[in-house]
Amino acid sequence: MANTTPEFDVAYEGSPGEILLAGFAEYGLAGLTAVDYLVEQLDLQPQGHVRARGLPSITPFESGTPRHHSRLFTSPDTDVIVLVGELPVPEFVAEEFAESLLKWTERDDIDELALCSGVPFAHGPDDHKPFYVATEPYQQQRLTDTDLTPMHGGYLEGLNGSVMTRGLTTGRPTCLFTTPAHAQSPDAEAALRLLDAVVRVYDLELDTAPLETFASEVSTYYTELAQRVERTGEEQYPDDRMYM
């Protein structure tokens, strides 16, 4: 019988970087919107992509030109490598995907990893802000001089949980920036909150004012992608239990 286990591998040809910052097609597309906007504002250039085999995939395109669904961006002027992941990653392949990222970051000497992700958890008005879940090395290295709020309690699962577990076992500084997000439509306000956390932690010069315009320009595409994420979630994800 043929091997149907999904496989992922990273093809990267860019300059070395110390930090991997990633966002994926998840709730509200907040993390994906945030890193996509970061790429545009910092004028980062495509330097690689993630290949997926044995998994129903997508090939995005714009103005008749296709592109890889999971792309890596950087520039010689920054230590950050940004992963823009438009492929929804179901929970049953989260381990394999996280393992592929770990092997690549070890091979290319990437020191730390941060994820951006919105999540539709119950919250009040005071919770409209970014939170973090981070390993102790990341907290000591990046968060001691910030006023970011730690997520109170619960547990991570799926891709976020798999990546965080590897941060615990390897000792690599690993962080998840998260915030409440709409579950079924693009959430530009949640993306802004995630960008606020990234800017504060990494001291980036970033103009977030045009984000609403940016989100409006890609609203049709993002809405279609959000609908695909929702369908994928209904078929392959359990009920949301990410935070308690």
What does the pLDDT look like over 39-73, one tens digit per residue?
999 999 999 999 988 877 789 888 999 999 999 99
Domain membership of residue 39 (yes or no) is yes
* pLDDT exceeds 50 at position 12: yes
Please report whether residue 118 resides in a domain.
yes
Neighbouring CB atoms inside 10 A of 212's CB total: 13
Q: Is residue 215 in some structural domain?
A: yes
Query: Which segment of 129-138, 155-164, 182-191 scores lowest on mean pLDDT?
Result: 182-191
Average confidence (pLDDT) over 15-21: 92
Question: Amino acid identity, residue 187?
Answer: D
What pLDDT score does 207 carry? 83
Domain count within the chain: 1
Q: Enter the DSSP assignment of 55.
A: S
The confidence band for 242, taking pLDDT boundaries of 50, 70 and 90, is very low
What domain range is 97 assigned to? 7-236
- The answer to whether residue 95 is domain-embedded is yes
Tell me the pLDDT of the chain averaged across its residues: 85
pTM of the model: 0.85
Q: In a 3-state reduction of DSSP, which class is residue 10?
A: strand
Please check the confidence at residue 226 and state whether its pLDDT lies above 70: no
Q: Is 126 exposed, middle or buried (0-12, 13-18, 19+ CB in 10 A)?
A: exposed
The answer to whether the CB of 212 falls within 8 A of the CB of 191 is no
Phi, psi of 159, deg, nearest 5: -60, -40
CB 129 within 8 A of CB 36: no
Cα dist from 52 to 11, 58, 97, 126, 186, whole Å? 11, 10, 9, 39, 25
Distance CA 234, CA 239 (A): 8
> In this predicted structure, what is the pLDDT of residue 240?
46
Q: Say which CATH number the domain at 68 has.
A: 3.40.50.10900
